[in-house]
Amino acid sequence: MNFAVIGRNFVTDLFIESSRLFDELCLYGVFSRNQATADSFASKHGAIKTFVSLDDLCADKNIDFVYIASPNICHEEQSIALLNSGKHVLVEKPAAHCAEAFGRMLDAAERNGRVLMEAMMPAHMPLSSALHGALDEIGTVRRATLTYCQYSSRYDDFKNGIVQNAFDPTLCNGALTDIGVYCLHTAIMLFGAPETVVGGCVFLPRSIDGEGTIVLGYSGMIADIIYSKISDGVVPSQIQGEKGCVLIDSVARPKSLTIVSRGGGERKIDASDEKPNMYYELFDFIKQINGHAMPRFNSYTLETLKVMDKARALMDIDFNAK
């Protein structure tokens, strides 16, 4: 099964590393708008062919699927073009800049009989299923506090006037799309679509959101979504039930859960193996290509994007994206 990649950042490096654990996969192509950077990345990873035109990438019948890790603003156009050309698509989070765009991508996938999936890493990792089971042990859930606060490696450059992609709102970037999406997706995966959405954020110069808090209202419980690209957090996420609490070491890369009963007892659940984080999403993606239906993943993505649309409207985050 031949695949190509769009995007040359460290995430793509990690994806290619994970792909080498699958004997049936071969890195066939690298896409970049610049031939020199395409050649450099292809040489680094041993790709067979380079592309500087999306049309040429779509036209190559040797490619079975494409992994997209381009700026968020590009996801819809690239995904639909590739799906229309008969290729499966695994697209980095967030899969699209808004729910309507993802709906159009889903339509293209269905129309062409191809698989489309968001590369939402934690949804596919082993502790995701363990987390569902852990909730049964803590009784009726009353509050979830899902937090991901990480000082961006690109923030110092931003403060010095150097604006990289991660801090460019015209590319549909910001703390909500880059960091908060992990927390929101986890909430949707565990509790479904909320009844109410409220929130606020901190804006940086150039009108980009640096951090924020969103409160999701459910019947009988609330979920606090806390995220930041401009400060580090040290408190784990937690889900509180009437019989106890579940602590999650990381919503983005969950490796450990701790179940604390109301009486004080503790039980820890650790990840069972040491495969690269991106292995699991690729495993599920390949299963779908091979005919195993997993529609729940796209439903989680669509509902998460709907909540993000509501939150952006409330907080006046404007990408100027159509």
> Per-residue confidence at 258, pLDDT binned at 50, 70, 90?
very high
Q: Is it the case that residue 272 has pLDDT exceeding 80? A: no
Domain match, 273 and 164 both: yes
The residue-averaged pLDDT of 179-203 equals 97
258: CATH: 3.30.360.10
Residue 163: give the domain boundaries.
123-277+294-315
> Per-residue confidence at 143, pLDDT binned at 50, 70, 90?
very high
> Per-residue confidence at 251, pLDDT binned at 50, 70, 90?
very high
Of the candidates 92, 118, 144, which is a domain's last residue? 118
Of the candidates 118, 141, 158, which is a domain's last residue? 118
The three-state DSSP-derived secondary structure of the chain is: CEEEEECCCHHHHHHHHHHCCCCCCEEEEEECCCHHHHHHHHHHHCCCEEECCHHHHHHCCCCCEEEECCCHHHHHHHHHHHHHCCCEEEEECCCCCCHHHHHHHHHHHHHHCCCEEEECHHHHCHHHHHHHHHHHHCCCEEEEEEEEECCCCCHHHHHCCCCCHHHCHHHCCCHHHHHHHHHHHHHHHHHCCCCEEEEEEEEECCCEEEEEEEEEEECCEEEEEEEECCCCCCCCEEEEECCEEEEECCCCCCCEEEEEECCCCEEEEECCCCCCCCHHHHHHHHHHHCCCCCCHHHHHHHHHHHHHHHHHHHHCCCCCCC
Domain match, 132 and 200 both: yes
> Per-residue confidence at 271, pLDDT binned at 50, 70, 90?
confident
pLDDT in tens, 25-79: 999 999 999 999 999 999 999 999 999 999 999 999 999 999 999 999 999 999 9
Of the candidates 67, 98, 118, which is a domain's last residue? 118
> Per-residue confidence at 322, pLDDT binned at 50, 70, 90?
very low
Distance from chain centroid for Cα 92: 6
Domain match, 132 and 268 both: yes
- Domain annotation covers residue 283: no
pLDDT of residue 292: 87
Domain match, 190 and 233 both: yes
- Domain annotation covers residue 28: yes
> Per-residue confidence at 17, pLDDT binned at 50, 70, 90?
very high
pLDDT of residue 321: 40
Mean of pLDDT over the chain: 95
- Domain annotation covers residue 251: yes
Quote the CA–CA distance of 212 and 136 in Å, as a whole number. Answer: 30
The residue-averaged pLDDT of 98-109 equals 98
- Domain annotation covers residue 286: no
Q: Is it the case that residue 156 has pLDDT exceeding 90? A: yes
Domain match, 110 and 156 both: no
Domain match, 105 and 18 both: yes
Q: Is it the case that residue 273 has pLDDT exceeding 70? A: yes
Domain match, 93 and 137 both: no
91: CATH: 3.40.50.720
Domain match, 137 and 86 both: no
Q: Is it the case that residue 131 has pLDDT exceeding 90? A: yes
Domain match, 145 and 261 both: yes
pLDDT of residue 183: 98
- Domain annotation covers residue 106: yes
- Domain annotation covers residue 112: yes
